[in-house]
Structure 1
């Protein structure tokens, strides 16, 4: 991690100075807002993957200045905090969050089994620092196993991991992710988790990926998995045809195919107000991929994040 710089210097160099006025949002407002109708707003954390061009203090200051309610720390290989350095660096990252007015709540990891090399160290350190939720890494389907066999094996691993989570008082979540990974379909995750009933391992529900895989039937999957949901992910996409082939294009929130109005209405109906991680996976000069050097100005990234954050809060309030 590069050496921290003074906050005033950071604000000047990153073009954050005066950005609050320009974008009309409160400076260092790290508490959930109230919205019309008496509903508490979603607790929206920015995924730190998109701020890996900043050190911990800069990241935390930027997230607070933009108006997020927290940061979902990337604690994984090529992340903001490396698993092999978690004992040294995670306390520094959490201290930076607290200095900016946040309480640590979420992180994203590569953890998949209780007996992996860094699992216990990562989870123990996080739990001691007050982090309450973490996202697991992904599983793949081996060529030499049937799908039911693989899911049965994963279910056993998740059960063991849930016991470790319970002993540490930290909750894990497996994200539904479109593509060839295990769990692209919500029914797979339901099968994986159906015997894990101690409340310490659940699902991180991603509406973007659910829409990609479920089309117009994502509501069925949401209804099925809702008792297991403990965190959410927000992002958007659309299909585009390029060179005769249909391809996924990630978009800012509200500019794609995700029906956020219908989704937010269901979340309110189900009283699902859990911590949220917001992802910005459209073109942001490399910030979308977690690069440490980006080809656009920090101001461009911050403005895009603020636009998405405002849109989410508007859609939630109107749903």
Structure 2
């Protein structure tokens, strides 16, 4: 399948040379997704038992359009090695005919030289989107003041993004960090240039925190959505305590039909980062060594990918 994909791109590119179109117009026509197909990238956290080349090859073989590459501590690319390793990773991944347009990072501030190094390296590799770290409420400040502090940090990141032509994203995440509430995210995004910084909207976490009110959160944040994360969950009692347990796409409580209908209503079809947080022998945790056959992981990824595309078409 990988070879077929490469052959298709090569042959089509050769044929395009005979046509009176610019290279850019041809590239856009090849990469453009039909309206009934989502641009789905596999979160490389779940493939950290593979090297860059194998990650690209397997993502292409499974049918993903790209890779959301981890560039953070314990990630595929370590931040301190980003200047040399990110070019290698992008080159190896894209050699399989797919893209590497997004990265997941631990970036927090323009005052951190390593964070700036990551952004500069990403810009040089024509990365489009990056996700930041999650912010923690400061123990020595009232919650409101913490939000104002992070609002200013994001404003400065957005200014740098404009210079580097990047789009930063903050993920809504269940728990007690900044961003579990929709209003927290809206607040920290209030002063940044919306073109260069928005949210990575995670429907799983939105429904865990929002219950029935997740639709209000979506209405509030939809103008800020740049990238979306897809995964599923259900509430289960574990050792006597109720917990949000991650499950394969379509087997949990996420109302994908309503969610996808809302996205279509607002003409939103952002790139997707597909996460698999349920038990996959350690792949779900980003382990470099896993306890199950790799094929089990690959099959799970393919199944979730197919389910998402089917649900999108049906919505």
Task: Output the TM-score relative to the length of structure 2.
Answer: 0.90
Map 1:8-47 onto structure 2 (within 5 A).
34=34, 39-47=35-43
Q: Deviations over 1:160-182 (max 9, x none)?
A: 11111111000100000000110
Q: Deviations over 1:135-191 (max 9, x none)?
A: 000111122211101001110111111111111000100000000110001110001
Quote the offset at 1:274 in angstroms.
1.1
8 Å CA contact 2:36, 2:312 repeated in 1? no
**5+ unaligned residues in a row in structure 2: which ranges?**
10-30
The match for 2:157 among 146, 161, 168 is: 161
Quote the offset at 1:198 in angstroms.
4.6
What is the count of residue pairs matched by the alignment? 292
Instruction: Provide closer, same or farther for how the CA distance between residues 232 and 277 of structure 1 changes in structure 2, counting only shifts above 3 A.
Output: same
Q: Deviations over 1:200-226 (max 9, x none)?
A: 111000000000000111111111111
Alignment match, 2:297: 301
Quote the offset at 1:123 in angstroms.
0.6
Alignment match, 2:272: 276
The match for 1:235 among 231, 234, 239 is: 231
8 Å CA contact 2:5, 2:97 repeated in 1? no
In the alignment, the residues of structure 2 paired with residue 32 and residue 215 of structure 1 have an alpha-carbon distance, to the nearest angstrom, of 35
Alignment match, 1:186: 182
Alignment match, 1:6: none
8 Å CA contact 2:45, 2:286 repeated in 1? yes
8 Å CA contact 1:32, 1:41 repeated in 2? no
Q: Name the SS of the counterpart of 2:100 in structure 1.
A: coil
The match for 1:62 among 52, 58, 61 is: 58
1:253 aligns with 2:249: yes
1:83 aligns with 2:98: no
In the alignment, the residues of structure 1 paired with residue 100 and residue 219 of structure 2 have an alpha-carbon distance, to the nearest angstrom, of 29
More helix by share: 2
Q: Deviations over 1:44-71 (max 9, x none)?
A: 0000000000000000000000000100
In the alignment, the residues of structure 2 paired with residue 48 and residue 60 of structure 1 have an alpha-carbon distance, to the nearest angstrom, of 10
1:172 aligns with 2:168: yes
The match for 1:212 among 208, 228, 243 is: 208
**5+ unaligned residues in a row in structure 1: which ranges?**
1-19, 21-25
